[in-house]
Amino acid sequence: MNKIAFVTGGSRGIGRAIAVRLAKSGFDLWIGYKSNTVAAEEVKAMIEGLGRSCELLRFDISNYEETEAALAKKVEERTPHVLVYNAGITRDNLMVWMTRDEWDSVISTNLDGFYNVTRMLMFPMLKAKRGHIIVVSSTSGQIGQAGQVNYSASKAGLIGAARALAREIGKKNIFVNVVAPGFIETDMTAGLPKEQILNLIPINRLGKPEDVASVVNFLCTEEHMYIHGQVIGINGGLAI
């Protein structure tokens, strides 16, 4: 029976690239997504075209009841070997103008969602005594970014949560690590001033989703693994 990788926010951008890369490495996929069924079906077709199975799971990760309904029985029947917590949103604004909804929506999706999803997998993974949890944070969570107090807080919170979890479950052969992408060419960064950004990046290019996927794939597949509780920056030197 093939190993399963569960990728949240797997229908577009970084999540899609991670899902496809893991499929190429032999994983069957569960793709979590909230609303874009067309994009999710496209990823499913790509993965099945690689000879792997793909199941689409539509639910709102910020809603605990929805997450529990989607996952509780499922993970007991078959526990994924890999969880990639990738889902995230931005609602950028300067703190002085930031609305409560802009704060709450980002924190509930990016940070509360981690609790909602990961907790569903804890007992099954602990029982199986194996697994990899990869959390997709951001350079903004490492160094902060003006106009992103909410986003930076959520992504920094993920780093703290992952490090604490790594201390809790490492003895059970469950590896927990964080990847922190910088400016990656996705829908989320499409409207940013590219020329200004390039001046901040030593290797003088934006990253591609595949740059992140390659690191996640390594963390999930490398046989000789001694990386645990770490934050790996994928940012072209933006944060050194």
Catalytically active residues are 151
Q: What CA–CA distance (Å, rounded) separates 115 from 218? A: 24
Determine whether 17 is exposed, middle or buried from the number of CB atoms within 10 Å of its CB (0-12, 13-18, 19+): buried
CB 61 within 8 A of CB 113: yes
Structure tokens given for 46: 């790509």
- 8 by Cβ neighbours in 10 Å (0-12 / 13-18 / 19+) ranks as buried
Strand order across the beta sheet in which 28-33 lies: 54-58, 28-33, 4-8, 82-85, 131-136, 174-181, 231-234
How does DSSP classify residue 207? B
CA distance 151 to 90: 6
Q: Which residue, among 178, 177, 176, 216, has the nearest Cα to 27 in the 3D structure? A: 216
> Phi, psi (5° rounding) for residue 104?
-65, -40
Phi and psi of 74, rounded to 5°? Answer: -65, -45
